[in-house]
Structures are given as structure tokens and as C-alpha cells.
Structure 1
Amino acid sequence: MTSTLAVVHLVVVAAYAGFQWTVRALVYPQFAEVTEGFAGYERAHQRRVTHVVGPLFVGQGLTTVWLLVLAVRGTAPALPVLAGAACLALVLGTTALGAVPQHRVLDRGWDAGAHRRLLRVDSVRTAAATAHLVAAGWLVLA
């Protein structure tokens, strides 16, 4: 396996994990403190965050697919690659099926229930991103 690819993968996964922890610990909890104009605030958040998370998702996706190909060929250790791919799938799935629908509700204005659901979904994403970071570190050490 190419150790450079494993390191690049680790860097991208670590960047996403740091981003995800920041969103979960700082950004989303602050939503509840926006007292006026929440719908506009939410739309601005969505526009801005896309510029950060989009490249991180693309980077993780590309390196994960490349690593999966190498694992199938037998030139990358299968277990950390598969574990990382499962974590990424969980992040992407909970984003599409959990976070995006809650953001659509919040797009219309403040909704405490949608915010609570978003925090729960984001806790899952944060755990999966952290587990992916562990798998990526394992891959570098393998």
C-alpha cells in the first residue's frame, strides 16, 4: 500500500473530525441563542458550512474509494479500510437522512424539537467521525 495515501487519508479524516467536533460542541448549541431572524441565520449557516464540509466529504470519499480498491487488490489492510468506509457511510447517511431534514425544518424558523433532533443526529456523526479517525490512524500504523 502507498503510505502517502494513508497519510493523506488520515489528514482529511482528521480535518473532518475536527470540523465535526467544532460543529457539535460549538456551532449547533449556539443555534438556541439566536433570538431574532433565525431562518436567515440558518440559511447563512448552510451556505457557509457547505464550503467547508463539501471538500472534506469529497476528500474522504476519494481516499476511501482508493483505499477500498487497494484493499480488494490485497495491497492495503482490509480491516482498517473497511472500518473507515463503514464510518464514512454512517456519517454520510446520517447527514442525508438525519441532519439535512432537520436543517430544512429550521430553514422555516426556530424549532426546538428540530434542534434537539439535529443535536442527536450530530452526536452520531461526531462519534462516527471520531471512529473514522481511529481507523485512519490504525491504517497509517498498519
Structure 2
Amino acid sequence: MTLLAVHLALTAAYAGFQWTVRALVYPQFAEVPPAAFPAYEHAHQRRVTRVVGPLFAGQGVTTLWLLAARPPGAPAAAVVAGAVCLAVVLGITGLLAVPLHRRLDRGFDGAAFARLLRVDTVRALAATAGTLAASWLLLATASG
């Protein structure tokens, strides 16, 4: 039960973080003066990694643990759904968001920024779905 509670806490923390980035942080990018944008973007990447790195690592550990040793009463579908959600988040991050941030490192680019917002919305939705899967796991084992 403790593993499931930790897993839920990590997924919920990441989802909250992701929605904060999507709703608050990224919209501010368009307000940064063009001459200051590359330094702003670089600082954003450095700082955000300090927050998201431990959340990704923690979710990775708990997800792999759940896949390897599913607790009694934990629905396999919920474990797999959560793993898929995390894979989507990590895939989008590595294959789409990081390259877009690297493009923005060179200066504000309206097309790259618009794409980053779309990509990040998918990431936030996947993170929310992962939190729902983690909630399902915890509730199913608590009532079982």
C-alpha cells in the first residue's frame, strides 16, 4: 500500500507541475523581450530540470516496481495504463519538447513556441491520466 501511495503522490505532483508549466510558465515565454529570450530559455531549462528530474526518476522507479511486482488486488490494466501514460510523457518530452526547447535556445520562434504549447498540452493530459490510473490502483487495493 505504501508503494501505491508514493506512486500516486509522484504522479499527482508531476501532473500538478505539468499543468502549472502549461498554464503559467509557458505563456510567459511570449512576454520576454526578444534580446533576453535565449538567456531566459536557457535558465528555464536548467531550473526546470531540477524539479522534473526527481519526479521522472521517482515515477520510473515506482512504475517499474509495479510492473515487476504488482501488489495483490492491483488491477493489471491500471498498472499498464499508468506505465503507458508515463511512456507517453517521457516520449513526448524527449522526442518533441526537448528539441523544441533547444530550438528556442537560439531565440524566440513563434512556430516552435506554438508547437511547444500543443505538445505540452498532450503531456499534461497524459500526466493527468497517469494520476487517474494511480488513483485507481490505490482505491482498488484499499477496497480489495
Q: TM-score, normalised by structure 1?
A: 0.95
**What's the counterpart of residue 26 of structure 1?**
24
Paired position in structure 1 for 2:37: 38
Rounded Cα–Cα distance in structure 2 between residues aligned with 1:26 and 1:46: 15
Question: Hey, what's the Cα distance between the residues in 2 that align with 1:115 and 1:108?
Answer: 12
- The equivalent of 1:101 in structure 2 is 99
TM-score, length basis structure 2: 0.93
Measure how far apart 1:70 and its partner are: 1.5
Out of 85, 88, 91, the residue aligned to residue 90 of structure 1 is 88
Matched residue, 1:50: 49
Gaps of 5+ in 2: none
Give 1:141 shift.
0.3
The superposition leaves residues 12-67 of structure 1 with CA deviations (integer Å, 9 ceiling, x where unpaired) of 10100000000000000110000141000000000000000000000000000000
Instruction: Summarize the alignment of residues 1-142 of structure 1 with structure 2, pairs less than 5 Å apart.
Output: 3-35=1-33, 36-71=35-70, 76-142=74-140
Compute the displacement of 1:76 (Å): 3.5
Write the distance in 1 (CA, Å) between the matches of 2:72 and 2:10.
23
Cα distance between partner residues in 1 of 2:74 and 2:16:
25
Unaligned runs of 5+ in 1: none
Task: Give the % identical residues.
Answer: 68
Paired letter, 1:28:
Y
